[in-house]
Structure 1
Amino acid sequence: MAYETILVEIEDGIAMLTLNRPAVLNALNDQVFSELAEAAAKIANDPSVRVIIITGGEKVFAAGADIGQMASATAVEVTISNRPSHRALQIIENMPQPVIAAIAGYALGGGCELTLVADVRIAADNAQFGLPEIKLGILPGAGGTQRLPRLIGAGRAKELIFSGDFIKAEEALRIGLVNKVVPADLLFSEAKKMAKRFADRGAVALRMAKSSVNEGLRMDLEAGLQYEHKCFSLLFATEDQKEGMKAFLEKRPAKFLGR
Structure 2
Amino acid sequence: MPIDDLRPAIDWGKYQTLTIERRDTGILLITIAEPDGYPAPTLTRRHTEISCLWRDFADDPDLRVAVITGRGERFWTVEGNDGIDEMLQNPGNYNNTVNLIREGLTNAHGIVNCDKPIISAINGEAMGSGLATALLADISVASTDARLIDGHLLQGIAAGDHSVMIWPLLCGLAKAKLYLLASADLTGEVAERIGLVSLAVPPGDVLDTALGIAQRMAAGPQHALRWTKRSLNHWLRTAVPAFEASIAFEAMSFFGPDLVEALTAQVENRSPRFAEPLPW
TM range (shorter): 0.7 to 0.9
* In 1: Cα distance, 2:182 partner to 2:97 partner: 23
Higher relative contact order (CA 8 A, sep 6+): 2
Residues 123 and 181 of structure 1 are in contact (CA less than 8 Å); yes or no, is this contact kept in structure 2? Answer: yes
Q: Please tell me the residue identity of whatever aligns with 2:191.
A: A
Q: How far does the alpha carbon of each residue in 1:159-192 deviate from its partner, in whole angstroms, 9 at most, with x for none?
A: 1111112111111011101111111111111111
Residues 172 and 178 of structure 1 are in contact (CA less than 8 Å); yes or no, is this contact kept in structure 2? Answer: yes
Aligned match for 1:15, one of 22, 28, 31 = 28
Report what 1:52 is aligned to. Answer: 66
TM-score, with normalisation over the residues of structure 1? 0.76
CA drift at 1:42 = 1.6
* In 2: Cα distance, 1:28 partner to 1:202 partner: 39
Residue 39 (structure 1) aligned with residue 53 (structure 2): yes
Aligned match for 1:200, one of 202, 205, 219 = 219
Q: Give the ranges of 4+ consecutive aligned residues of structure 1 lying more than 6 Å apart after TM superposition.
A: none
TM-score, with normalisation over the residues of structure 2? 0.71
CA drift at 1:146 = 2.3
Aligned match for 1:70, one of 84, 87, 105 = 87
Q: How far does the alpha carbon of each residue in 1:54-90 deviate from its partner, in whole angstroms, 9 at most, with x for none?
A: 1112311111694331224234232333312321232
Q: How far does the alpha carbon of each residue in 1:13-60 deviate from its partner, in whole angstroms, 9 at most, with x for none?
A: 1111111159xxx98733112222333212101232111111112311
Q: How far does the alpha carbon of each residue in 1:121-179 deviate from its partner, in whole angstroms, 9 at most, with x for none?
A: 00012211121221221122212222222221111111111111211111101110111
CA drift at 1:217 = 4.9
Q: Please tell me the residue identity of whatever aligns with 1:68.
A: D
Report what 2:129 is aligned to. Answer: 110
Matches within 5 A, 1:164-179: 164-179=183-198
Q: How many residues align?
A: 217
For structure 1, list consecutive stretches of 5 or more residues without a partner in the other structure: 221-259
Report what 1:6 is aligned to. Answer: 18
Which stretch of the first structure deviates more once superposed, 68-77 or 143-152? 68-77
Q: Please tell me the residue identity of whatever aligns with 2:120.
A: A
* In 1: Cα distance, 2:163 partner to 2:41 partner: 17
Report what 1:80 is aligned to. Answer: 99
Residues 110 and 140 of structure 1 are in contact (CA less than 8 Å); yes or no, is this contact kept in structure 2? Answer: no
CA drift at 1:210 = 0.5
* In 1: Cα distance, 2:98 partner to 2:185 partner: 27
